[in-house]
Structure formats: C-alpha cells, structure tokens
Structure 1
Amino acid sequence: MTSPESASPSRPAKAAGFALLGVAAVALIIGVVSLFGGGDETPPVAGSSTPPPPVQTTTSESAGETSSSAPAATTTTNPPAATTTSVAQPPPVTQPGAGKVPVRVYNNSTITGLAVRAADEVRANGWTVEGTGNYSQGTIPTTTVYYRPGTDEEASAKELAAVLRARVEARFDGIQGSAPGIILIVTNDFQGASKSK
C-alpha cells in the first residue's frame, strides 16, 4: 500500500509539467502568428506623425561588402490604438568570393607555372580568378597587387596583398587600360599566403 506522502509530490509535478506545456504551446502560437502575420504592415492613419523605421546599412572595409537590415522588432501605435509589429529578417548568407573584386594573375618571373600556383592560392582565400598569363612588357621589381584608384578594387586589393604578403599599388600606365578588376603580377619573390591564420 502506498503512503499518501509518496503520492502527493507527483501530483504537483504533473500539474507543473502541464502548465509548462501550456505556456510552451501559447509561445509557439504567438511565434507562428508573428512570423507569418508580422510582415503585413497596415498603412499609417492620416495625421499619424510616426515615420517608418530607417533601414541600417553597414559596409565592411576589408571586403567591400554591403548589407541592409531592418531594426530588430519595432512597434508603432497609430490612433486609435492599432499596433503593427515587424520581424527583422536574418542577414544574407555570403558565399565565398562574394563582395570581392575578381583577380587576373600574371607571371613576371623565371619560374614556370607561378601564375597558376598563385591563382590557386588566391582562390583558396576567397577571390574569383578570371584568368592567368604572363606579363612580358617589362620587369616588375616585386610581387604586387594593382587596382584602379577610386573604385571598390582598392579595398579588395589591399586585403589580397595582406593575405599574400605582397605590395599593393595603383595601376601603372602599362596596365591602365586593362579590363576592370584586380591585377596580381607575381615575381620570383612570391611567398604565397601567410600560414599564420
């Protein structure tokens, strides 16, 4: 026969468990309604002085990436006490190479296949390589990443140069008319990407 003391603790525990399940169900319903119903915004009532929330834009200097996002959750009250709630969207997923300027790699060394090897390292670090070849219009003193000044190429070129431990400069007259994009000219001193990441 079971004593009344051993049976009584299980009843409050069951009651608490059912209460928690009820709270969880209510929270789930509110979440689903907010998710699917929160995107429908009602137009402001005439005479309302509440402006829509601003969109925040952030730019990453290193990769030139730009993303826009709305503020987290905003509640606006219009006369006569109508409430609209908007749910912030998650940030976009960036793919490797997204926001980075394409690169062309040229060999100006005595090492056969150096442009291809350098191109593989450029790709491995997130850039898109548009082509490889030889640069034979002169001698470049050291491995250098070139960009067009005043364009989004500059930030991406500086980032690539830091990764490859190379010099970075504005384009010189001999490559000024080349197609848009970063130009990497590798020489005998090419070291490749830093292994200290």
Structure 2
Amino acid sequence: MTSPESASPSRPAKAAGFALLGVAAVALVIGVVSLFGGGSSDTPPAAEGTSTAPPAASETSSAQPPASTPPSSAPVTTTASPTVPPASSVVPPPPVTQPGVAKAPVRIYNNSTITGLASKASDEVRANGWAVEGTGNYSGGTIPTTTVYFRPGTEEEASAKELASVLRARVEPRFDGIQSSAPGIILIVTNDYQGVSKNK
C-alpha cells in the first residue's frame, strides 16, 4: 500500500517540473527570436548604408576623374602618333633603290648545259635592283644566245634594254613561244652567259 501512495504524489511533481521546463524553453525561444529579430533588422540598414556609401562615392569619384583625364591623356595620344611616321618613313628607301626607269619584274630560265645557271643569274639580277619572280628551265627550243625579252609597247622595253646592257646580253621582243607568258621581263640564259659587266 505504501508504494502506490508514494507513486501518486511523485507524478504531479514530475508533471509540474516538465511544465516549468516547457515554459522556460518557450521563454528562451521568444527571447532568442526577439534578440535576433531586432538585431538583424537594425544591422542590415547599417550594413547597407555603410556598403552603399563607399561604392557610390567610388563610382562618383571614378566617373569624375575620367572626365578630367582626357585632357591629360591627349598628350599621350600625340606621343603615340609620332611613332607611326617613322614606320612609314622606313618604307621610302626601296623606291630610292630604283633610280631612272621603273624596273619590271624578271623571270629567268636556263637554256644551257650548265646546272644552276638561272639561279646564279638571278642573284646578279637582284643585286642590280630588279625583282626576280622565279627561275626555271626553258625547254621549248634552243636559244642561240643569252637574251632579255619584253612585250613591245610596254614599260618592259626600257627596263629590258637596261638589264641587257648590265648583263651584256641581247634584247628582243617576245617570240611566239613565250608571247602568252605572264607580264614582266623574261631572261633566258645560255652557255654564253657572261653576267654583270665589270665596267658597270
């Protein structure tokens, strides 16, 4: 009988203890919520205000300097432009290398029994100011002597005559076998090729 009586008074005590713990937990939750709720609402405005102010100031200040910067950067543009003239002044030298008659481009063909004669002739032709567009062999027949060929009625004639005098070669209008070749002077070298005159 004693155990049932003692058991019944302890149950209410336990229930009351749990109730107190529940109330304390609710109070704690409310306190935490009010603490964080109030603090977080105050903090964002301060953080936003702080972060907004610097960016606005930096954007404004960065926008202002560019407006005043152009005048000072103008001299820099002037410094860059002088660099362009020197590059264009480097180009003029080639025309100076071509005095007198405009020199038509030359193609050189070997019609001899000497291997590499067209290549040797091309070195001498270039050294005297003509542009060599190519070398090769001419197998369309036998050319009797080293000859410079040109298209009559074109600027090639004067240039061909000048080249022929430099190489001590014959100069003639194009013949049928090379009539349709690309524009320019054609030099066909043979076994009698003498090269550049030593007197020149």
In the TM superposition, 1:1-197 aligns within 5 A as: 94-97=95-98, 99-197=102-200
- Relative to structure 1, is the Cα distance of residues 150 and 175 closer, same or farther in structure 2, using a 3 angstrom cutoff? same
Superposition TM-score, scaled by structure 1 size:
0.52
In the alignment, the residues of structure 2 paired with residue 115 and residue 93 of structure 1 have an alpha-carbon distance, to the nearest angstrom, of 25
In the alignment, the residues of structure 2 paired with residue 106 and residue 129 of structure 1 have an alpha-carbon distance, to the nearest angstrom, of 11
Unaligned ranges ≥5, structure 2:
1-92
Residue by residue over 1:19-74, the C-alpha shift from the partner in whole angstroms, topping out at 9 and shown as x without a partner, is xxxxxxxxxxxxxxxxxxxxxxxxxxxxxxxxxxxxxxxxxxxxxxxxxxxxxxxx
Q: What's the RMSD between the two structures over aligned residues?
A: 1.8
In the alignment, the residues of structure 1 paired with residue 115 and residue 184 of structure 2 have an alpha-carbon distance, to the nearest angstrom, of 24
- In the alignment, residue 132 of structure 1 is paired with which amino acid? T
User: Rg: which structure is higher?
Assistant: 2
Superposition deviation, residue 165 in structure 1: 0.1
Superposition deviation, residue 189 in structure 1: 0.1
Residue in 2 aligned with 1:22?
none
- If each structure's helix is expressed as a fraction of its own residues, which one has the higher value? 2
- In the alignment, residue 133 of structure 1 is paired with which amino acid? G
Over 6 Å off, 4+ runs: none
Residue by residue over 1:75-110, the C-alpha shift from the partner in whole angstroms, topping out at 9 and shown as x without a partner, is xxxxxxxxxxxxxxxxx9834347210000000000
**Partner SS state of residue 158, structure 2:** helix
- For this pair of structures, how many residues does the alignment match? 107
8 Å contact from structure 1 (residues 106, 132) kept in 2: yes
In the alignment, the residues of structure 2 paired with residue 113 and residue 159 of structure 1 have an alpha-carbon distance, to the nearest angstrom, of 24
8 Å contact from structure 1 (residues 97, 128) kept in 2: no
